[in-house]
Amino acid sequence: MTQQEFDAKYPLILGWIQETLAAHAPKARTVGSLGFPRLPQYFSPQLLSYSKVIYVDAVPKPPLSKLGLNQFSEFENIDASGVTYVDTFFARHETHNDESLHFHELIHVVQWKMLGAKTFMAAYAEGLERFGYRNSPLEVMAYNAQNVFEKSAQPFDVEKLVKSKLGIP
């Protein structure tokens, strides 16, 4: 996708995200209120208090094909367990006790926070287009950190890790 194409579609996708978040806002819960024992060892209290989760039957994804972005049909058709928009992620009902999934989605909350909406969406789109969902750089970062979270009891500062991986001084 060219920069011009992205610039034309960005307001439409951002609008869809804002409408979707607003429509589901009454069901949102802060991640900090969920009582997961390990997440506070990896994320700041501030992040856990403003990050939200909404449990749904199927995670909502923007109608990218309808917007003429057929190159993202793989993402659009993935039966995902979770998806993050800004400071909120949607997760399927059956994942409500899955601390690892919540960890993964919180990585994306940190990415959104550090990059800002437009830069995050541009980077995510480029990663999907060039590498596919599972090998896109922002997903690789989240899956790699999630893997460490699952296999090690040694906490680490996720925000510092993400900042470093994004090359932010």
86: left (phi over 0), alpha (psi -120 to 50) or beta: left
Q: Determine the pLDDT at residue 71.
A: 82
- Three-state helix/strand/coil letters over the chain: CCHHHHHHHHHHHHHHHHHHHHHHHHHCEEHHHHCCCCHHHCCCHHHHHHCEEEEECCCCCCCCHHHCCHHHHHHHHCCCCEEEECCEEEEEHHHCCCHHHHHHHHHHHHHHHHHCHHHHHHHHHHHHHHHCCCCCHHHHHHHHHHHHHHHCCCCCCHHHHHHHHHCCC
State if pTM tops 0.85: yes
Query: For 122-132, how does the pLDDT look when each residue is reduced to its tens digit (9 = 90+)?
Result: 999 999 899 98
Contact 20, 85 (CB under 8 A): yes
Q: Determine the pLDDT at residue 95.
A: 96
Q: Determine the pLDDT at residue 38.
A: 96
Q: Determine the pLDDT at residue 96.
A: 95
Q: How is the chain split into domains, by residue range?
A: 3-166
Q: Which residues of the chain have pLDDT under 50?
A: none
